[in-house]
């Protein structure tokens, strides 16, 4: 990957003249089954410019209360886009209840902001990395059609969903007007995300990308890593899923760890520490001292994410370290 990055043929991508970026965007659009694609520095920017392109100031977007866009993207949609978030409780599997979505879609009324967009996350980071099924997507698609709404997918880990459900990634996106996915994270590129959608939509995202400072010059050096990620590294996500499952099963057998391995479908594990003798902060520090970095999402609730650089020996190490701490 580093060699490909060093040797990439580059040009000025602000003028769409970088051949490596153009190649990456073409491959990405084809993989997602969409007309066009745009390379962006991060998933956050990809989601932001997608929402800015679908919505006008004062429009409303329906999204989950556990979604990354709502929780972790600095409220960019409101702060920069004047877009009103209409929040619905996420179900434990990451979906939004269909009846609730329908109830929340605004009628045409002087007092209401117009509903423009439904945003879903697949896989759902804070809902155990759950993959969202194409059957559910079809139902949301029917609703969107009925009320003339657009659908955006925060698919930061959409390939994890496709692998877990044993489907082509396109099958998860038939109803989506746009999708953002990350080349970093499990796909192992150092930087970058992609937004895919229709030609006119992507044309608009290009203007927004420039406005929010994401127009890059010789970004082919970064895109070269993305091409390798897309061409060679999607299938290997299966390894992360099986390592996550092994780790989850072992951790679940430890007294003081609350975890249901049957809920782990991809590369993300959540567990709760329930041992009155162990302080969550010191649990975290003790692991960090051994080179094991996990995230405390809130007091006593932890997230572990598996990726290419954590293979079986590291999984064993983590199991051993946590087993010793729980004794």
Interface with ligand PLP (CB under 6 A)? 42-44, 47, 68, 121, 125, 154, 156, 182, 184, 193
Q: Which residue stretches of 66-198 are H helix?
A: 68-72, 76-81, 98-104, 134-146, 158-165
Under DSSP, is residue 242 helix (H, G, I), strand (E, B) or coil? helix
How near is the Cβ of 138 to ligand PLP at its closest, in Å?
22
Strand intervals (E) in 100-223: 115-121, 150-154, 178-182, 193-197
Whichever of 105 and 163 has its CB closer to ligand PLP, that residue is 163
Question: Do the Cβ atoms of 283 and 272 come closer than 8 Å?
Answer: no
The distance of closest approach from Cβ of residue 52 to ligand PLP in the complex, given in angstroms and rounded to an integer, is: 15
Task: Supply the minimum distance, in Å, between the C-beta of residue 34 and ligand PLP.
Answer: 18
Shortest separation between residue 195's beta carbon and ligand PLP, angstroms: 12
Which of residues 187 and 322 has its CB atom nearest to ligand PLP in the complex?
187
Q: Is 245 or 266 the residue whose CB approaches ligand PLP more closely?
A: 266
CB of 54 to ligand PLP, least distance (A): 16
- Report the distance separating Cα 211 and Cα 226, nearest Å: 23
Q: Looking at beta carbons only, is 160 or 234 nearer to ligand PLP?
A: 160
- Is the CB of residue 298 less than 8 Å from the CB of residue 324? no
Question: 3-state DSSP call for residue 217?
Answer: coil
Q: 43 or 134, CB closer to ligand PLP? A: 43
In whole angstroms, give the CA distance from residue 324 to residue 327. 5
Task: Specify whether the CB–CB gap between 22 and 39 falls below 8 A.
Answer: no
């Amino acid at each position: 990957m580093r060699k490909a990055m060093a040797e990439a043929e580059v040009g000025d991508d602000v003028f769409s003249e970088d051949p490596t970026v153009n190649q990456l965007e073409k491959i990405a659009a084809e993989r997602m089954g969409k007309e066009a694609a745009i390379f962006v520095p991060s998933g956050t920017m990809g989601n932001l410019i997608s929402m800015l392109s679908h919505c006008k100031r004062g429009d409303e977007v329906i999204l989950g209360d556990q979604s990354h866009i709502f929780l972790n993207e600095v409220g960019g949609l409101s702060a920069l886009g004047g877009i009103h978030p209409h929040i619905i409780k996420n179900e434990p599997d990451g979906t939004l209840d269909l009846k609730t979505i329908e109830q929340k879609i605004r009628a045409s009324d002087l007092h209401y902001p117009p509903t423009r967009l439904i945003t879903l996350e697949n896989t759902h980071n804070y809902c155990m990395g759950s993959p969202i099924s194409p059957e559910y997507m079809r139902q949301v698609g029917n609703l969107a059609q009925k009320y003339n709404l657009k659908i955006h997918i925060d698919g930061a880990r959409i390939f994890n969903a496709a692998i877990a459900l044993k489907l082509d990634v396109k099958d998860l996106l038939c109803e989506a007007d746009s999708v953002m996915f990350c080349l970093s994270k499990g796909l192992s590129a150092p930087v970058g995300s992609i937004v895919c959608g229709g030609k006119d939509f992507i044309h608009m995202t290009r203007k927004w990308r420039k406005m929010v400072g994401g127009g890059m010059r010789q970004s082919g050096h970064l895109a070269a890593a993305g091409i390798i990620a897309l061409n060679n590294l999607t299938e290997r996500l299966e390894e992360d899923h099986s390592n996550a499952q092994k780790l989850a099963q072992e951790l679940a057998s430890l007294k003081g760890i609350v975890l249901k391995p049957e809920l782990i479908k991809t590369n993300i594990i959540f567990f709760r520490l329930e041992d009155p003798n162990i302080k969550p902060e010191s649990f975290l520090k003790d692991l960090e001292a051994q080179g094991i970095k996990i995230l405390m999402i809130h007091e006593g609730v932890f997230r572990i994410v598996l990726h290419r650089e954590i293979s079986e020996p590291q999984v064993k190490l983590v199991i051993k370290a946590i087993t010793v701490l729980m004794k």
